[in-house]
Structure 1
Amino acid sequence: MEQTVPLFLEILLILGGGILAGTLFKRIGLGTVLGYLFAGIVLGPLLRVVESGQNEILHIGELGVVFLLFIIGLELKPSRLWSLRRQIFGLGLAQVLLTGAALTAALAFLPLGWRAACVIGFGFALSSTAFALQLLEEAGELNTRFGQTSFSVLLFQDLAIVPLLAALPILAPGGGDAGIDVRAVGMSFAALGALVLSGRYLINPLFRILANSGAREVMIGAALFVVLASALLMALAGFSMAMGAFIAGVLLAESNYRHELEANIDPFRGLLLGLFFIAVGLSLDITVIADNWWIILLAAPALMLVKAAVLFPLCLLFGESRQTALRTALILPQGGEFAFVLFSAASSAAIFDGQIGSLLVSVVTLSMALTPLTAYLGRRLSGEDAELEELEEDFAGAGADILMIGFSRFGQMAAQVLLSSGYDMTILDSSAERIKSAGRFGFRIYFGSGLRRDVLAAAGIRQAKVVLVCTNKPEITNGVVDLIRSEFPETRLFVRSYDRNHSLSLRERGVAFELRETLESALRFGGETLRELGFEPGRIEEIVDDVRRRDAERLALQQARGAGVGGGSVLAPSRVSPEPLTRPRRADGAVRQPRGAPPRHLQEAAERQPSEAAPPA
């Protein structure tokens, strides 16, 4: 037991350091990848509290890369690939080949050897999927034109890591001198065929049987087994484990159990991938970095400049606008997490030594840290007019009595009521995925943002008798309302509210009607609970109506006091605190109300107005 204490202590230190650094770096906008690297550097080279088993930690962490490629494969449905085929296999392929070739040519002048230059050049050509997508999602730009273009390039880069890893044994010293073993090649392709056939004809029936058992832990174990068995089979056949996991993911992309597999694998993927990045930090040679700090400071900006200079004209060549090309080039200039994987594997294969590997990882890390700055620069240089330019905005046939902005779950239910009444509607949404999903059911939804005046005008806002704002985020809703109140002041606005403070803010903005998204469902839920407890329907209706009335009166009173979000003052706080309309009974001797009896406030109301009192239940 005493021998295992140091091991457990190191595990706790790694977990604690990863949690602390990942959370901190996420909060300051640098991403968890840099946080994990920082934790590894602090625990290893700086403080030296984790000095044993670094290679073992790295090998275990490599399973995170295997699981990541499996999940990437699960996402690659043929229909999705086909819709983005030009950007993925055209622009993405050109970016990897030309950027890799340019960097390889530049590195050829250094005393590294052509094999090392090739690996480093194409490793640097890959960008950070996790980092770039995080920036796009946080800015709400993933569904913009440049967001989709960036995603397509990243998707091909994720595919490119598979052949790059497969090429390392060939580029390793002595790998190019080996003759072609026909039997080994035949066995490799036989293993590949066996994996394809198993994925097509065995895995789905297997998961069907396991799902019928109802044991969730069995499904988790089966998911891990499929990924690791596929990876091991490809490794034994001479390919990389990552390639095996990727092929298994692609084969299961159309499976009915795809989402179950992804949900089961994703926690292991995140944990092990974080462990991998921590292990990379543990393995860094701080002495080498300190001795060559000037090289890192020069190499990282040079790398970003070369990648942006190659990607910008490529985007223009593939038909993107200047703004989209500029923003795409400036969101993807960094090195990526797959560079860590490639450089670690290349170092293990003796293509270059560990000191060079530490320098390369440091260059990639610095380029990641500089990416928020380049992304901000892209927004400033491109202007605001290109940010929501994802799909062709075709408003032919738009213009109806009702204009709905936002078609999420709230808007979808409201639309059902209005369509059932026979009214035609013009629906506007900025999510391409939602538009495509709704299109399968016959909905005609126009792509565009309610934050743009020209889009609202093209969608027929001047002809609409009422505009329904059903967007999800309060800040987006407020922006849409402010724009419409400013540019189209005669428009009647019915708005979905997020909470009580948001309702007060909307009232101050002068909307015709607002409704908290959970109010009526909560009242109905409470009423049905009373029905289950034996209350008469009339009594239930009376209680629910009274709660609704008193809530409306309190909201009106709070509005009159100027307590809304947008109308706060020194005397009135900017936000109201939720308070119950009816306080619960205390347990200090208070008599509980008999079952079915109305609340005290209803009894008092009945005493004041006998003619309006409801009959006893």
Structure 2
Amino acid sequence: MSSEVSQTLGPIVTLLGAAVVAVPLFRKLGLGSVLAYFAAGLLVGPSGVALFTDPQAILHVSELGVVMFLFIIGLEMRPQRLWSLRQDIFGLGLAQVLLCTALLSGLGLLLGLSALVAFVGAAGFVLSSTAVVAQVLNERGETHTVAGQQAVSILLLEDLAVVPLLILVAFLAPDHTATSSNGWQSVGVALAAVALLYAAGRWVINPVFALLAASRAREVLTAGALLVVLGAALLMEAAGLSMAMGAFMAGVLLSGSSYRHQIEVDIEPFKGILLGLFFLAVGMSLDLALVIQQWMFIGVVLLGYMAVKAVGIYTVARLFGSNRRTAVSRMTLFAQGGEFAFVLFAAAQTQGLIDAPTQALLSAVIILSMALTPLVLILAKHLIPAESPSMHDTEAALDLKGKVLLIGFGRFGQIASQGLLAQGFEVSTIDNNPDRIRDAARFGYKVYYGDGARLDILHASGAQHAQVIMVCVDDRDACMHIVTLVKSEFPQAAVLARAYDRLHAIELIQAGADVQQRETLESALSLGCSALERLGLDSAEAREVIDNIRLRDQERLTIQVCEGIKPDPTYASQMLAPEPLSPVRTTSSPGQ
């Protein structure tokens, strides 16, 4: 029994050891964690010391890391936000895929490949690595920025493109008659699976999690979270779609759930470990002997594909209104092939479009392009000078040093700043809405352009010198991201945040906000106080009633935070007491 256990634990210990040594070392050298995992995988794999001889088995399991990453991205995207990205997904993303596929196919023909092989190679390489891009965005803290959301939109379109590409490969097969005749049936099955997943997310998952939460067993909630992710992925794969797309859709459907944050916390550790394992497995899969033997051909195809794809990405980005720096950044980030290429190449080999040696060569090109991406990003960072964000006639935040940093100058931020300005405090204000900045300038108020979700902008805005940082943005997800970032990077400052509702207030407290203020709470209490006065209470009595309600609300909020109780999001405030409030005692005599 002990020998069987040691045989199982041995590979696990080896992989963990390789990651624990490589990642800190490479990050200290400024090379990033992705390249560290690749290098560690190459070292322990068949082309290295051969501690592992079957990297494909590890790769299949570790693909769940990509699945879970997309699930968490889906949790952060409510359906309304996803709908708002439709132009980026089906405009920007589709244009990039189509143009790059055409350019790469043309390059393949110039390199002497047959038309079918050139198309398959191009279609595989055009699907960028979701794992690499998402990991880099996460490490940079850019997932929630405008550029980051556009990058996510492109990744989603590429995931969607896997299905029509697989159908097209089947159609192009020599014996395509049998396979292509099932095309409409496959589409129908895929739509049915999507409908089933939607129904489960709408009517089943929340009640199930309510039962699990009632059991007060943390491990059962974790198991339920894993069941949701893996079940959705399995359903989509059975329907012919990608597992990653299924997990993303499940995340979107659960984005409004009251159990969303519990699920995210439970999934996060599995996602991180499996994603690292995925990069390790990709490194193991590189056939170094083949690369050495065919180094000239692989080198030409690799550099040619990356260069041509980069040109296509840059062209599309500029056509869709991105500035030069954003276009270059996207170009270097997406210039590699991705994990879905392995699926496409395997299908093409099965259908007889390419042979086994060609598949091995194309797979080597994909792996090397993924490994080169961190180096390309480092090179681009050093060659391209940093730019301060600016918007035509707005002024970028630069070396501000006010005692107070105000992020977001909408209706809430404008009112919140008035008392500070009246007392003569120096307030540095940033906002990412150029129209709002120009409106403020007409009234003589200086607002600088800057995205508070970016660490470099916060530094330029003087966050390191501020005593108080007020987060007044009207996007609850952006607010959470900024509060988390500020608490991590600028511990000297007190963080005061605008909360959308009670649930958001609890999330902000858990994120470390020193003060949170629901945007409608005080105005609603004030209105209620006026109503009491109109109904016959004098001002003192009305204020006492409202103060009592405010006190009870604060006590209940404290209890909910301490016990981890979360209100049902369908009831925004949930501040009414479970029992009637006691009548206010007055000094009036019984006869009055």
Mark yes or no: TM-score above 0.5: yes
Q: 1:278 aligns with which of 257, 277, 280?
A: 280
**C-alpha RMSD of matched pairs (Å):** 4.7
**1:183 deviation in Å?**
6.5
CA distance in 2: counterparts of 1:19 and 1:56, whole angstroms: 22
Q: 2:301 aligns with which of 299, 302, 307?
A: 299
CA distance in 1: counterparts of 2:275 and 2:370, whole angstroms: 16
CA distance in 1: counterparts of 2:347 and 2:274, whole angstroms: 17
Are the structure 2 counterparts of residues 114 and 7 from structure 1 closer, same or farther at C-alpha, using a change threshold of 3 Å? farther
Other structure's SS at 1:405 match:
strand
CA distance in 1: counterparts of 2:52 and 2:262, whole angstroms: 38
CA deviation profile, 1:207-266 (whole Å, cap 9, x unmatched): 222223332211111111112222223333343433432332232233232232222222
Matches for 1:391-410 after TM superposition, within 5 Å: 393=394, 404-407=404-407
Matches for 1:553-592 after TM superposition, within 5 Å: none
Q: 1:355 aligns with which of 357, 360, 381?
A: 360
Task: Return the letter of the residue paired with 2:376.
Answer: T
Are the structure 2 counterparts of residues 108 and 456 from structure 1 closer, same or farther at C-alpha, using a change threshold of 3 Å? same
Matches for 1:361-440 after TM superposition, within 5 Å: 361-376=366-381, 379-380=384-385, 384=387, 387-389=388-390, 393=394, 404-407=404-407, 419=419, 430=430
In the alignment, what sits opposite 1:14?
15
In the alignment, what sits opposite 1:259?
261
Q: Give the conservation status (yes or no) of the 8 Å contact 2:336–2:366.
A: no
In the alignment, what sits opposite 1:219?
221
In the alignment, what sits opposite 1:100?
101
In the alignment, what sits opposite 1:290?
292
CA deviation profile, 1:156-194 (whole Å, cap 9, x unmatched): 223322431564365255673325347666555434332
**1:494 deviation in Å?**
7.1
Q: Give the conservation status (yes or no) of the 8 Å contact 2:71–2:229.
A: yes
**1:315 deviation in Å?**
2.6
In the alignment, what sits opposite 1:531?
none
Other structure's SS at 2:389 match:
coil
Q: Give the conservation status (yes or no) of the 8 Å contact 2:310–2:331.
A: yes
CA distance in 2: counterparts of 1:272 and 1:140, whole angstroms: 20
Are the structure 2 counterparts of residues 422 and 15 from structure 1 closer, same or farther at C-alpha, using a change threshold of 3 Å? same
Identity of aligned residues (%): 36
**1:307 deviation in Å?**
2.4
CA deviation profile, 1:373-425 (whole Å, cap 9, x unmatched): 45326633xx63xx414798599xxxxxx9943439xxx99996964997799
- The number of residue pairs the alignment matches comes to 456
Stretch moving more, 249-258 or 82-91: 82-91
In the alignment, what sits opposite 2:42?
41
CA deviation profile, 1:544-574 (whole Å, cap 9, x unmatched): xxxxxxxxxxxxxxxxxxxxxxxxxxxxxxx
Are the structure 2 counterparts of residues 289 and 447 from structure 1 closer, same or farther at C-alpha, using a change threshold of 3 Å? farther
Are the structure 2 counterparts of residues 132 and 425 from structure 1 closer, same or farther at C-alpha, using a change threshold of 3 Å? farther
Q: Give the conservation status (yes or no) of the 8 Å contact 1:61–1:272.
A: yes
CA distance in 2: counterparts of 1:311 and 1:472, whole angstroms: 25
Asked if 1:69 is matched to 2:35, the reply is no
Q: Any stretches of 5+ residues in structure 1 without a counterpart?
A: 396-401, 436-443, 449-454, 484-492, 498-514, 520-617
CA distance in 2: counterparts of 1:314 and 1:234, whole angstroms: 30
CA distance in 2: counterparts of 1:426 and 1:458, whole angstroms: 20
CA deviation profile, 1:139-160 (whole Å, cap 9, x unmatched): 67777xxx62354034322332
Q: Give the conservation status (yes or no) of the 8 Å contact 2:162–2:242.
A: no
CA distance in 2: counterparts of 1:48 and 1:480, whole angstroms: 50
In the alignment, what sits opposite 1:50?
51
CA distance in 2: counterparts of 1:205 and 1:38, whole angstroms: 45
Other structure's SS at 2:384 match:
helix
CA distance in 1: counterparts of 2:420 and 2:290, whole angstroms: 71
Are the structure 2 counterparts of residues 136 and 252 from structure 1 closer, same or farther at C-alpha, using a change threshold of 3 Å? closer
Are the structure 2 counterparts of residues 333 and 62 from structure 1 closer, same or farther at C-alpha, using a change threshold of 3 Å? closer
In the alignment, what sits opposite 1:504?
none
Matches for 1:149-168 after TM superposition, within 5 Å: 149=147, 151-165=149-163, 167-168=165-166
CA distance in 2: counterparts of 1:157 and 1:22, whole angstroms: 25
Task: Return the letter of the residue paired with 2:241.
Answer: F
In the alignment, what sits opposite 1:60?
61
**TM-score, with length taken from structure 2:** 0.63
**1:66 deviation in Å?**
2.4
Q: Give the conservation status (yes or no) of the 8 Å contact 1:166–1:240.
A: no
In the alignment, what sits opposite 2:124?
123
Stretch moving more, 336-345 or 34-43: 336-345
Q: Give the conservation status (yes or no) of the 8 Å contact 2:333–2:373.
A: no
CA distance in 1: counterparts of 2:198 and 2:347, whole angstroms: 26
CA distance in 2: counterparts of 1:378 and 1:91, whole angstroms: 26
CA distance in 2: counterparts of 1:53 and 1:133, whole angstroms: 26
**1:43 deviation in Å?**
0.4
Stretch moving more, 72-81 or 97-106: 72-81
CA deviation profile, 1:46-96 (whole Å, cap 9, x unmatched): 443423443322221122232233233333323323444443432222112
Q: Which has the larger radius of gyration?
A: 1
Are the structure 2 counterparts of residues 248 and 416 from structure 1 closer, same or farther at C-alpha, using a change threshold of 3 Å? same
Are the structure 2 counterparts of residues 424 and 391 from structure 1 closer, same or farther at C-alpha, using a change threshold of 3 Å? farther
Task: Return the letter of the residue paired with 2:234.
Answer: L
Q: Give the conservation status (yes or no) of the 8 Å contact 2:336–2:369.
A: yes
CA distance in 1: counterparts of 2:131 and 2:237, whole angstroms: 26
Q: Give the conservation status (yes or no) of the 8 Å contact 2:132–2:370.
A: no
Matches for 1:170-185 after TM superposition, within 5 Å: 171=169, 176-179=176-179, 180-181=181-182
CA distance in 2: counterparts of 1:379 and 1:392, whole angstroms: 24
CA distance in 2: counterparts of 1:417 and 1:43, whole angstroms: 58
Task: Return the letter of the residue paired with 1:407.
Answer: I
Q: Give the conservation status (yes or no) of the 8 Å contact 2:47–2:289.
A: no
Are the structure 2 counterparts of residues 321 and 53 from structure 1 closer, same or farther at C-alpha, using a change threshold of 3 Å? closer
In the alignment, what sits opposite 2:208?
206
Q: Give the conservation status (yes or no) of the 8 Å contact 2:71–2:248.
A: yes
**1:137 deviation in Å?**
6.6
CA distance in 2: counterparts of 1:228 and 1:494, whole angstroms: 45
Q: Give the conservation status (yes or no) of the 8 Å contact 1:99–1:310.
A: yes
Q: Any stretches of 5+ residues in structure 2 without a counterpart?
A: 397-401, 470-490, 496-592
Other structure's SS at 2:177 match:
coil
Q: 2:331 aligns with which of 329, 350, 353?
A: 329
Are the structure 2 counterparts of residues 93 and 285 from structure 1 closer, same or farther at C-alpha, using a change threshold of 3 Å? same
Q: Give the conservation status (yes or no) of the 8 Å contact 1:96–1:125.
A: yes
